[in-house]
Amino acid sequence: MKTIFESSRVNTILGWIAHRILSIMGWEARNILPSSIEKCVVIAAPHTSNIDVVIMLLAGLQLGLPMRWMGKKQLARFPFHAIMTKLGMIPVNRNVRGDKVLCMADYIATHDGPLMVMVAPEGTRSFTPVWRSGFYHIARMAHVPIAYGYVDYRCRYVGIGGYITPTEDHASVMEHIRAFYSGVTPRYPERYNTNWTMRV
């Protein structure tokens, strides 16, 4: 099933609607990802509120990004499966770690056409000291970059703020990612840990 991000006939209309909604809410969508990058894993952070996902998806529509997102399978239970799939959700079992990473990497690598898969490494809206490293391993296995998706409540900017190519130097990659997100303000700062560590 095609998602709303891939339905070209309605994309222009939805993009305009998304732009209007974001404008009314006081948000500006930005994307500095080079057009040459057709596939990537998008970090969705900081994630402290459900509205973060909504704002990011609206930005994806406005910017015309081929967005899909990983969500817990409970969100796609009957009768919401068709709706959530149309919205770009990829249902996953968060209790199965290794298989999930391998399946997502294969999904991205074999997907026909542009694809941006959004992953929330915090895995929760609550305060957490650890980021899950699934996005890093998925990107490495699929041989695609990691893009910095963000929702900044101080500047009211949302979108893609850059990217990095994952390498074997895990620590260096994490430091670049940490440096970027240290300048992003979440909706609920008390729920966000700026000194997070990565579970490798």
Domain ranges of the chain: 8-199
- 137-193 pLDDT per residue, tens: 999 999 999 999 999 999 999 999 999 999 989 889 989 999 999 999 999 999 998
More confident of the two residues 74 and 197: 197
Q: Please answer whether residues 69 and 43 qualify as being in contact, where contact means their C-beta atoms are separated by less than 8 angstroms.
A: no
Decide if pLDDT at 93 tops 60. Answer: yes
Q: Return the pLDDT at 53.
A: 87
pLDDT in tens, 6-53: 766 557 888 999 999 999 999 999 999 999 999 999 999 999 998 998
pLDDT in tens, 58-76: 999 999 999 998 877 766 5
Residues 6+ apart with CB under 8 A from 64: 11, 15
CA proximity to 158, closest of 35, 61, 34, 14: 61
Instruction: Kindly report, residue by residue over 104-149, the tens digit of the pLDDT.
Output: 999 999 999 999 999 989 878 888 888 988 899 999 999 999 999 9
pLDDT recorded at residue 97: 58
CA distances from 17 to 68, 88, 115, 180 (A): 19, 18, 22, 30
- What is the Cα Rg of the chain in Å? 16
Task: Answer yes or no: are the C-beta atoms of 143 and 108 closer than 8 Å.
Answer: no
CATH of 8-199, one of 2.60.40, 1.10.287, 1.10.3470, 3.40.35: 3.40.35
Q: Give the 3-state secondary structure percentages of the chain, helix then strand then coil, rounded to 5.
A: 40, 25, 40
Higher pLDDT, 163 or 81: 163
